[in-house]
Structure 1
Amino acid sequence: MRNFAWMAVVAFALTITGCKYEEGPFMSFVSKENRVAQIWEVEYATDAKGEDVTSTFSSWILDFQEDGTASISLEIIGFPVDLTGTWALEDSKEEFRIQTDEINGVTLFGGRYDILRLTRTEFWLIDDNNPEAVIHLKIK
């Protein structure tokens, strides 16, 4: 009887801590915020038409800090650009929002993304407004 009770507790714990994201992981002992708070690079990306645009992001380095600040380093026409901003997990931590600070009244990068996969080494996002546009980040 004790074994049955123990298995019931484990099964219940797995159902409440199980996978939130379509591509996993099934379970993690690391908080979602800590999994995001890493330095990332783009492994794979597609545009609104589903075409591979990974090479467009080859210079991008995304640094997400635990306090919700973000910095993005990239090159535009060969010139280095450093952006700062904020990130957050929203909608029961199933969505990722990023917003860069304005430069001369213009926000250069920002958006909402559904999270497909979030591990310590992989962070897969899909554009909230366009399911063909996906981005797979990997740990730097």
Structure 2
Amino acid sequence: MNVFLKAIKPEKAPKALGPYSPAVKLGDFVYLSGQIPLNPETGEIEGTTIEEQTHQVMKNIKVVLEEMGLDYRHIVKTTIFMSDLSEFDRLNEVYGSYLEEPYPARSCVQIARLPKDVKVEIECIVIDTLVYEQQMAAQQGGCSSCGGGCDGGCC
């Protein structure tokens, strides 16, 4: 048993298809397992086109991130597995609509087959920066000893 590794199993995310966690957290690092276009309510594949399936995958990623209070902006690296790279531009259009600059680093590969014969699977590496964001916000508001009136720094 690894006492430092925490399994993340959101209630609203699709259930794992095997012996794995939807995500695991180790310190500030979060590793999301590959998400496929499973509808979490029905357990069925959502959509038949690359666009429909990519939308569902991105929604599934969002649910896992939200379980930890995180968002797409916390993703630092994705790996995209596609069954047909000729659909690359169509996938990019949908994938890019969920993200903002600076975009995560990314790899994208075509493979012979994906679970349940879906068109796309996306896994992510995420950094939980929430504690650091809170510290920065507190520093920008000033310090408690001067009531924040020191031009953003402590007196």
Q: TM-score, normalised by structure 2?
A: 0.22
Structure of higher CA gyration radius: 2
Q: TM-score, normalised by structure 1?
A: 0.24
The answer to which structure has the higher helix fraction is 2
